[in-house]
Chain A
Amino acid sequence: MKILVFLKKTPDTESKIQISSNNTAIETNDVKFIINPYDEYAIEEAIQIKEKNPGTEVVIASFGDESVRELIIKGLAMGGDRGLLISNEGLANLDSLAIAKVLAAAVKAEKADLVLVGKQAIDDDNMHVGPMLGEILDWAHVNVVSKLVLDGTNATAEREAEGGHVEVYKFALPAVIGANKGLNNPRYAALPGIMKAKKKPFDVKKLADLVIDAAQLQAKVIVKAYQYPPQKPAGQIFKGEAVDAMVAKVVKLLREEAKVL
């Protein structure tokens, strides 16, 4: 079996997001980048499947520029077998659908049986690529997966929906799975692992290497401008009084000023 894991480079969760002076981009100079946290669950799941199913190959892939190489290597250090960097050279400002088309072409080229991704990236928070890959490949997809059981090429996945509902699906591979927190506990990539991972096979593919028509990649959704969320005026903070008096004041304000009770 061949498992393809796609990871995305995203700003660290604690990063401050700075908008460029012309409002059309996010400044990236001072930002620390990480593997999108949900993608780590995808990598871990792939490695666990490999551990249970000898002969499985885990390919850690990402679409981007040379800077995603170190993140792919981190995935290899966790236990991936081979790296795959799909170069975005000459492809600026793709939207999620165009990216899904590129990734789908890579899945076909790799002849993967299972694709694992994070349920969403924490930069655009879109949750698009998993379902779109399913559609483009005409495969099953289950997103927001908190439990995955494989029995040969048959799979059972649990998807978290709202209100405590858990949808349980059965399907045959190939499939796309979007990992949620709770699926597993991702292992840390220790330093010796990273040294070793640098020696693992690593391919770089350009658009020309994939069967895809560049004309198909024109963005259909574009960002016109970025803005900061509106600043809230300073709140009324009570301190140093008897707790019951402060609670009474806040309840009164919630009722009479904010009108939410």
Chain B
Amino acid sequence: MKVLVFIEQRENKLKKASLEALSTARKLAGSAANVAAVVVGGSIDGITAELKNHGADTVFAVSGATFENYNIFNYSSAVEQAIKSFSPTVVLGMATPMGRDVFPRLAARHNAGIATDLIELKAEGETLVGLKPMYSGKAYAEVTFQNSSIQFATLRPNVFKADASDGAANVSKLEVAAADSKLKTVEIRKDKSEKVDLTEATIIISGGRSLGSADAFKILNEAADVIGATVGASRAAVDAGYASHEMQVGQTGKTVNPNLYIAAGISGSIQHMAGMRTSKVIVAINTDPEAPIFKIANYGIVADLFQAVPLLTQKLKELRG
């Protein structure tokens, strides 16, 4: 099957998760010749060069001032142009804020099916079959397509391997006019620190209401700095005003999937666990040995987080030398 992959960038920097989609496309397609990537942005020569040997023989490049800032109308027009040029069976992307905005619009434009946030994906003949967490991960649904001339799908970040090693990545520039945009991107503001976003973090350390104050999150920040982790929070901590909503992990917050998730002073409500249970390794620190979080933890420490976390920070520092 022919697969087109939407490669994301922010500020002209490649979003690494897109390489996971590219490698997955390479496996589905059987050869790099049947995979094309489309990159949309202001100035993307660096990115198209970076895509060499990541699974695609063709890279469609759509660039220029029109595409500097993300705009749903312009970006979907650009991907649309690549679809016209390549005639793929499958259009693949990542279940990121941008992917989850562009793909439903394009699926509706093509009167086509779309499967979102997949954690497994294979082809049966020319038809995709994927596994999709539903009910915040309390159940998985095996989904497939029918009567859909193009199949749109997005992958959950940090689940699929970015391991393709071939693909000439020959650049084909596409001229795309600005769309008849019904909205204007005024600015893209960077509100918070330079820290990696929770949904893309490989290590997360989260705190619960037992931290007792916004100030107490500083002990989590210190541990996070040592191991390059991103700090998250439970809903209870957010509702208590100790942490901002963008830090919230769980059903009405973010669904995360890091390699390591450290839960400090989080009891593990269903709604919190729904957002982090697919983390590869979970460490729980809690004074209550009966806390539900210990049931899904790989490793647990029954102790006061105010004692354990600083000791953890110290140990990690020693480790990092």
Contacts and interface: CB of A to CB of B under 8 A. Distances in A.
A220 B142 contact: no
A177 B201 CA distance: 28
A229 B255 CA distance: 15
B27 interface: no
Interface in B119-144: 129, 133-144
Which 4 interchain pairs have the tightest Cβ spacing?
Answer: A220-B113, A164-B192, A239-B302, A237-B300
B278 interface: yes
B281 interface: yes
A95 B312 CA distance: 47
A190 interface: no
B133 A161 contact: no
Interface of B: 10, 69-70, 72, 96-98, 100-101, 104-109, 111-117, 129, 133-148, 182-193, 195-197, 199-200, 203, 227, 245-246, 248, 251-253, 255, 259-260, 269-271, 274, 277-278, 280-284, 289, 294, 296-304, 307-308, 311-312, 315-316, 319
Contacts of A261: 227, 260, 316, 319
Contacts of A123: 134-135
Contacts of A163: 10, 190, 195-197, 200
Contacts of B251: 13, 37, 122
Contact of A141 (B72, B203, B252): B72
A161 B296 CA distance: 29
A253 B299 contact: yes
A247 B311 contact: yes
21 contacts: A97-B114, A125-B133, A125-B134, A128-B104, A135-B105, A139-B182, A143-B100, A156-B186, A159-B97, A182-B245, A221-B114, A223-B142, A229-B133, A235-B296, A235-B299, A244-B311, A247-B312, A247-B315, A254-B283, A255-B319, A258-B280
A11 interface: yes
Nearest to B303: A243
B271 A170 contact: no
A49 to B, nearest CB: 18
Contacts, number: 275
A140 B101 CA distance: 12
Contact of B183 (A96, A126, A166, A171): A171
B252 A221 contact: no
Interface of A: 11, 13-17, 19, 26, 37-38, 95-97, 100, 122-132, 134-136, 138-144, 146, 156, 159-172, 175, 181-182, 218-229, 232, 235-240, 243-244, 246-248, 250-251, 253-255, 258, 260-261
A102 to B, nearest CB: 13
Contacts of A16: 138, 270
Given A13-B251, A162-B199, A220-B112, 5 more contacts: A125-B117, A128-B107, A140-B183, A164-B193, A255-B319
Nearest to A167: B188
Given A128-B104, A161-B97, A261-B316, A17 B144 contact: no
Contact of B146 (A19, A139, A170, A220): A220
Nearest to A18: B139
Given A14-B270, A97-B111, A222 B97 contact: no
A229 B277 contact: yes
Given A164-B191, A226-B141, A131 B299 contact: no
Nearest to B287: A239
A97 B115 contact: no
Contacts of B246: 160, 164
Contact of A225 (B69, B104, B142, B312): B142
Given A131-B105, A163-B197, A226-B140, A237 B302 contact: yes
B182 to A, nearest CB: 4
A228 B139 contact: yes
Contact of B135 (A17, A146, A162, A171): A17
Contact of A221 (B113, B307, B308): B113
A221 B143 contact: yes
B228 to A, nearest CB: 11
Nearest to B269: A14
Contacts of A13: 136, 251-252, 270-271, 274
Contacts of A144: 97
Contacts of A135: 104-106, 108-109
A164 B183 contact: no
